Amino acid sequence: MNVEIIVIGDELLIGQVTDTNSSWIARNLNKIGWEVMEITTVRDRRAEIISAIRQSFDRVDVVLMTGGLGPTKDDITKQTLCEYFGGKLIFDAEVQKNNDLFFERRGLQMNDSTRTQAMVPDSCTVIQNPVGTAPIMWFEKDGKVLVSMPGVPAEMQRAMTAEVLPRLRKRYPDHTAILHKTCLVKDFSESALSEFLSDFEAGLPASIKLAYLPVPGVIRLRLTARGENEEILSRQLDDSFSRLEDLLGKHIFCHRDATMAEALGLLLSYKGLTIATAESCTGGNIAHEITLIPGSSAYYKGSVVSYANEVKVQVLDVDPSTIEKHGVVSCEVVEQMAKGVRRLLKTDCAIATSGIAGPDGAVPGKPVGTVCIAVAVGDRIVSRKYCFENSRAININRFTHTALLQMISVLSE
């Protein structure tokens, strides 16, 4: 089953807000064998919304729409949908009751603008929103379905999971099975890996395709199987994935789809090890990525964000003469930082970073984008210097990603 998504909001097109709803919807549709053909983002403009709906319905039978359902005057989606599907806005007592309870639970006073949320097109089926005030609206016309949902991610996700997906599956019971298996690969460039796997890829069953999804230093390989018989597909996919694992061996450091922090967590859990971080240029971002993972408290103990040199010296026991001789961005300094935080927090492993994220701070021989990373496993310490030369935000994320990968590589040896 093919689906399209329409996302409404000026804030998306000026870059003020990032659209995370579409990727969430696509992932969850994929689980039931449905595919998103196109994603269209439009402003809060009547003509643009109607044009997007018409074009989508020319291609597919199901359109999922998010955004534009707020109580303010710039949110015109309800009126526009009423115009497209016919009918008029009417007061819905159940929506008002739901919203009264919503405000009562939070000890808030409802204003006149929020009361307009209970006005809905009489041409739709209303689905109550248990975590917000904007109702979900289900429209049908000429055998096609459009579902309008709030743009707030938590509200959209709750609606999709509890109501929209079950109703869509009942409305369109036939669907193709889509299965995935993913692994994370290191020590290859994308082109080199493609050449290495050319014979494997050529020998795949017609129902299975291989996708390369590279990020710096890592390639996510995804095998996707599509077909009518899920049992047969599953066997074919398992067999193909097993052959891929045999071919790549230790180049695969995670045998499932995961972030770098998840992959590190799996490795630490498997080995029964604990870890801490000593961060300068990354400012706690490594700790942030690690602690995003549920259950990370089993292996992660804490961090020292030693942004200032005096913190490195006074808390992590970095020798001031080492900083004076080699500079704060040096392998010698991060090695001492790793030793210091491991000793301080009594962990098996440690990651330490010191670098120049930019836009200022460059010195001769150490341009913006330079970072030194040390990882410690017991008494063994491995340190490396890298140069990336990007903007500050990109550098911090790249430093973080590289540090996690360096730890994974050492633990995998």
Dihedral over alpha carbons 331, 332, 334, 339 (to 10 degrees): 130
Return the pLDDT at 33: 85
Is pLDDT above 90 for 110?
no
pLDDT at 113: 76
74-98 residue pLDDT tens:
779 999 999 999 999 999 999 999 8
Domains of the chain: 2-171 (3.40.980.10), 177-254 (3.30.70.2860), 261-411 (3.90.950.20)
Where b means 16+ CB within 10 Å and e means fewer, 10-38 reads bbbeeeeeebebbeebbeebeeebbebee
Give which of 49, 135, 121 is closest to 85, Cα–Cα: 121
Full DSSP string of 124-153:
SEEE--TTSSSPEEEEEETTEEEEEE-SSH
What does the pLDDT average to over 210-233? 93
Q: Is the pLDDT of residue 390 over 80?
A: no
> pLDDT of 324-368, one tens digit each?
999 999 999 999 999 999 999 999 999 999 999 999 998 888 999
Q: How confident is the model at residue 273 (pLDDT cuts 50, 70, 90)?
A: very high
Tell me: pLDDT of 193 over 80: yes
For residue 180, the SS3 value is strand
Tell how far CA 112 is from the center of its chain.
37
What's the average model confidence in pLDDT over 113-120?
Answer: 87
Q: Give the burial class of 297: count Cβ atoms within 10 A of its Cβ; 0-12 exposed, 13-18 middle, 19 or more buried.
A: exposed
Question: Following CA atoms 333, 337, 339, 340 in sequence, which dihedral angle do they give, to the nearest 10 degrees?
Answer: 130
Mean pLDDT on 159-182: 90
Question: What's the rounded mean pLDDT across residues 298-306?
Answer: 98
pLDDT of res. 413: 87
Rounded to the nearest integer, the mean pLDDT of the chain is 94
| Nearest C-alpha neighbor of 78 from the set 350, 343, 88, 224 | 88
Instruction: Provide, rounded to the nearest whole percent, the portion of the chain with pLDDT above 90.
Output: 85
